[in-house]
Amino acid sequence: MGTYAELLTRLSDAANDVELKRLVAGLKLRVAVCVGPRTVSIDINDPEIRVSEEEASAEVAIRAAEETWSTVLQSPPPATFHSFTAFQLANPNFDLAGDPVDVARARPALERMFERAVRATAMAAPAVQRDLSLIKGSYRSLTIDGETHDVYVEESGQGTPILFLHTAGADGRQFQGQLSDVELAKSYRLVAVDLPFHGRSMPPLSWDGAPYKLTAERYLNWCSIIIGEVIGGKAIVAGGSMGAAMSMVLAAERPSLVAGIIAIEPPFQSKGRRNPYQHNAKVHGSLHNASYVRGLMSPMSPEGYRRRASWIYSQGAPGIYPGDLSFYSDEFDGAVTAPKIDGKRTPTVLLSGDYDYSATPADGTKLAERIPGSLHLTMNGLGHFPMCEHPDYFRTYFVRALEFIKASSK
């Protein structure tokens, strides 16, 4: 079967996906998928989705050469050929045309359709014994910047403390796979927080409702207080994405607070993560943001875990995700922060998934070059949320990171 016919067949099959019915509520538009000179038309008219060879005007068009689409059809496709949002943001072989509002409104459906059209087998990993009942949750009342914050904390286990910092716009549920790990809990005190304004940590009662904006200074202050009052001493800080950036800031600016860092998907300079429709009255933010991050995950991570990882983003409060990007995308600069880290004093591990086009393995390499003595591992087959998109497979890399920190601390 030729490339055009194969793509037509796969998209036609994807149009019958049950999840799409939830993603196209109120949506009516046409998408043209151009394979060289030929077109596959996707007509979305809630609740119906029809795929055909009919050529007609379309609100959104995705254009690429036949050989580019042939790469998408590989099993599995390489990074940046694996998702609609990757086509748009990270792969110059694709041309996307259309009103940005139409693109944003179509994103949830297109992300899911191409997710279904891509062929990949979930990577096998050793079975991990987990017990969610190990996790105990509670609130801690913390005074931060003169305001009282009721911060939600989950923890399990005992031993060397590890503080987990979630990604931008998310919350501590991303680390349930690690907190419920029976073997890890025997040697480590595993602590995950929902940062103020995130997840189950409500805004302070004194908040006046003004737009939320995270800065490096504000985030560093939050973490310093959390380590001092919740952990009660030095901790290994394991952060994902935005949390990875802050783990490096802590190692650079507050090394006395950290026993080591594990930067999961660390950025060098994470430009391009902003999108005006992450918080915009014209677009359903919950649907948009969940699909926006879904494209960052690996097609070889189990579908159920990927869906859960994006589910967390569908529940973020309006404006919190782009507010976090004020720090992550606009302010953090690895070229400035990394050289300040003393790798001998603060054991540093950098973990990069090769399907992540936001914080790439190349970013991790550049950071490692600026932190003598650090360990950088590329995690083959993982994306931007390895701790929750495939916790079993991620565990091997995470344990290697912990062993490196332990050995370096002797």
pLDDT of residue 219: 98
Extents of the domains making up the chain: 3-117, 133-408
The pair of structure tokens assigned to 20 is: 């799409």
User: Are 238 and 165 within 8 A, CB to CB?
Assistant: yes
* CATH code for residues 3-117: 3.30.1050.10
pLDDT of residue 375: 98
Q: What would the DSSP string read from start to end of 210-274?
A: PPP---HHHHHHHHHHHIIIII-S-EEEEEETHHHHHHHHHHHH-GGGEEEEEEES--SS-TT--
Residue-by-residue pLDDT tens, the chain, 410 positions:
799 999 999 999 999 999 999 999 999 999 999 999 999 999 999 999 999 998 889 999 999 999 999 999 999 999 999 999 999 999 999 999 999 999 999 999 999 999 999 999 999 999 999 999 999 999 999 999 899 999 999 999 999 999 999 999 999 999 999 999 999 999 999 999 999 999 999 999 999 999 999 999 999 999 999 999 999 999 999 999 999 999 999 999 999 999 999 999 999 998 767 899 999 999 999 999 999 999 999 999 999 999 999 999 999 999 999 999 999 999 999 999 999 999 999 999 999 999 999 999 999 999 999 999 999 999 999 999 999 999 999 999 999 999 999 999 87
The pair of structure tokens assigned to 147 is: 């305001």
pTM for this predicted structure: 0.96
Residue with structure tokens 């009660």? 232
User: Are 383 and 297 within 8 A, CB to CB?
Assistant: yes
pLDDT of residue 56: 82
The pair of structure tokens assigned to 104 is: 């944003």
Handedness of CA 167, 171, 174, 178 (dihedral sign): positive
User: Are 123 and 301 within 8 A, CB to CB?
Assistant: yes
Do β-strands 38-45 and 28-35 pair in parallel, antiparallel, or remain unpaired? antiparallel
The pair of structure tokens assigned to 355 is: 């399907």
CA–CA distance from 209 to each of 213, 317, 324 (Å)?
A: 12, 12, 16
Residues facing residue 52 across a β-bridge = 41
Residues facing residue 340 across a β-bridge = none
- For 196, phi then psi, to 5°, come to -50, 140
Q: What would the DSSP string read from start to end of 73-101?
A: TSSSPPTTSSSHHHHHHH-TT-EEEE-HH
Into which CATH architecture does domain 133-408 fall? 3-Layer(aba) Sandwich (3.40)
The pair of structure tokens assigned to 63 is: 């254009």
Report helix angle 216-226 to 242-253, nearest 10: 80
pLDDT of residue 90: 95
Handedness of CA 369, 371, 372, 375 (dihedral sign): negative
